[in-house]
Structure 1
Amino acid sequence: MNCIEEVNGTASRIAPREGSIADVIAGRAEWAITSGDAVDFLELLPPGCVDAVWCDPPYCSGGFLETAKRRARGMLQAATIKRLGWFVNDNMGTTGLVWFLRAVAMRAARALRPSGHFGCFTDHRMIDALKPALESSGLRYANLLIWDKLTPGLGKGFRAQHEVVLHFVNRSPEYHASDEGNIHGVRRVPPKKKNHQTPKPPELIARHLRVVAPPGGLVVDPFVGGGGIGVAALRVGARFIGCDVDLGICEDARGALRAEAAALAAPARRERST
């Protein structure tokens, strides 16, 4: 990732550049966000160009009971989609989600380098359904990463305090750090934007990406959401391409990455002004 420049003989970081998907793949820019369907987006990527596909898809595991989902027309709650929109608050049924994410994993496997990695956020209720479906893409199940949110959520009994990442690898995986465990305690960050309700903390994602993506490598997120995975990619010196079907979410994510790019360049600007 070419974000270093010489200022009076001192190396300083410059702002990661925004560009097109082609620019990022070719190394002419460091990040891009586009709008579209996740499956279609992944099919457009050249084979074997991505180091890590890391994503936070809809969980579809608790906002509505499964019996209520089965009564809905198709995969969606008709009243809910009118009020909240596509994919918000568990609109899909489990069967629909499994089919969809297997299609995503199939395209991700094609885009990954032989040394690449695939990570998918979910919660404990969806592990049994998703793990074999994702592994059927040809990727190999490698690990279960735990996000300890440090405080329990709502409810009774043993209240949920964690989410998980299902970690898969391609044919000959390469690891770029060996000092991380598979449990990461990071407090949940409340959403700042109305378009995305469950953003993931970039400091959490950065701990994942430093293991699965080399400096200057390419990270892809087909469910860009609040942009946390993209922000984390820039922090660890990787290139990033994100996609989302919602135009408003894409614009929010661009704002998050532009702010992060400016923050990364701030020390260089301060050096030049002194």
Structure 2
Amino acid sequence: MTAWLDQVFCEDALEGMARIPDRSIDLILTDPPYNLGKDYGNGSDQQSVEDYLAWTERWIDCALPKLKDNGSLYIFLTWRFAPEIFVMLKRRMTMMNEIIWDRRVPSMGGSTRSFSSVHDTIGFFVKRKDYYFDLDSVRIPYDAETKKARSRSIFVGAKWLEVGYNPKDLWSVSRLHREHAERVDHPTQKPLEIIERMVKASCPPGGVVLDPFMGSGTTALAAKRLGRHFTGFELNPAYCATIAERLSAPAQPATKKRKGVRVDAATEGVDQA
């Protein structure tokens, strides 16, 4: 039975994941509550530290059996809890990367008693050594100036020069401002560009992506756009309605790139909100 496929269920992930068969998921990609007091229409982001870490361990133990043996997991975290949650995952999986998402926040305001926090942490974990990973699908093309500078004979025919470079583990992509065409009514929506990079690299075409905390539905949308299947859960009925609307809408307008960073033509130059 595959009634759970290409569906986002408006229910608690800890209950819903029981319906998903073990070893049926190629990629778990999720942005769970950070426990920073955000209002998601419930108390999921307003727990004590002890309760939050215990809850995190429960959902991890529910989710990981669903992953295929060559599957992977990406998890968005805040630096406040990344060390503890990374330790939980290291006891169960192999850590491949700590990716830093530079949100490109403007240099204004912020704390006066510490350095301003302008990044999210992303953990990339795998179950075993033969995990699926398609680097060529996410390489960033070199610009014409760089290619010209590498025109000496020793570089002629070099694959890396033609197909582009590895995105590395520092991703500088603007968070979504209020005027952005991609933005919906969700306090912690992640850019489609970042999610699509993970899906292309770590889920084979036709594979299945699980997101236990769908939020605004970007994981489902990325999977659909890229020819992958998806499944997931979201507690808030309003967000479930947003997800359904995004999945049924026509394809988003094309974006352009400048030096490896996406810029939306309709909103270029608009400051972050």
Q: What residue is the counterpart of 1:76 in the other structure?
A: none
Cα distance in 2, alignment partners of residues 152 and 114 from structure 1: 42
In structure 2, what is the Cα distance between the partners aligned to 1:23 and 1:119? 25
Distance across 2 between alignment mates of 1:87 and 1:185: 31
Contact 2:132 2:204 in 1 (8 A): no
CA shift digits 1:214-253 (9 cap, x unpaired): 1111001111101111122223221111211122211111
Q: Percent identity?
A: 27
Letter of the 2:226 counterpart:
V
Q: Confirm whether residue 151 of structure 1 aligns to residue 105 of structure 2.
A: yes
On the 8 A contact 1:189/1:199 being kept in 2, the answer is yes
Matched, 1:43 2:8: no
Closer, same or farther in 2 for the Cα pair 1:233/1:222, shift >3 Å? same
**What is the deviation of 1:98?**
1.4
1:103-155 deviation digits (Å, cap 9, x = unpaired)? 2211221100001011111111111121112333x222221111111125852
Distance in 2 (CA, whole Å) between partners of 1:24 and 1:86 is 24
Structure 2 counterpart of 1:230, from 196, 208, 220: 220
Amino acid of the structure 2 residue aligned with 1:187: S
Q: Secondary structure at the match of 2:22?
A: coil
1:160 and 2:147 equivalent? no
> Normalising by the residue count of structure 2, what TM-score does the alignment of the two structures yield?
0.72
Q: CA deviation at 1:24?
A: 6.1
Long gaps (5+) in structure 1: 1-20, 26-30, 65-80, 267-274
1:52 to 27, 34, 44: 27
CA separation in 2, counterparts of 1:167 and 1:234?
A: 22
Where does residue 107 of structure 1 map in the other structure? 62
**Contact 1:152–1:159 (CA<8 Å) still a contact in 2?**
no
C-alpha distance in 2 between matches for 1:238 and 1:188: 24
Q: How many residues align?
A: 217
Q: Is the 8 A contact 1:36 1:243 kept in 2?
A: yes
Q: Which runs of 5+ in 2 are unaligned?
A: 140-166, 255-273
**Structure 2 residue matching 1:142: 3-state secondary structure:** strand
Alignment of 1:193-208 (within 5 A): 193-194=184-185, 196-208=186-198
Return the structure number with greater helix share. 1
1:95-134, aligned counterparts within 5 Å? Answer: 95-134=50-89
Q: Indicate if the aligned counterparts of 1:223 and 1:244 stay in contact, CA closer than 8 A.
A: yes
In structure 2, the residue matched to 1:247 is 237
**Aligned partners of 1:256, 1:60: CA distance in 2, in Å?**
26
Give the whole-Å Cα distance in 2 for the aligned partners of 1:152 and 1:100. Answer: 34
Q: 1:85 aligns with which of 38, 41, 47?
A: 41
Match of 1:173 in 2: 131
Q: Secondary structure at the match of 1:124?
A: coil
User: 1:167: Cα distance to partner?
Assistant: 1.6
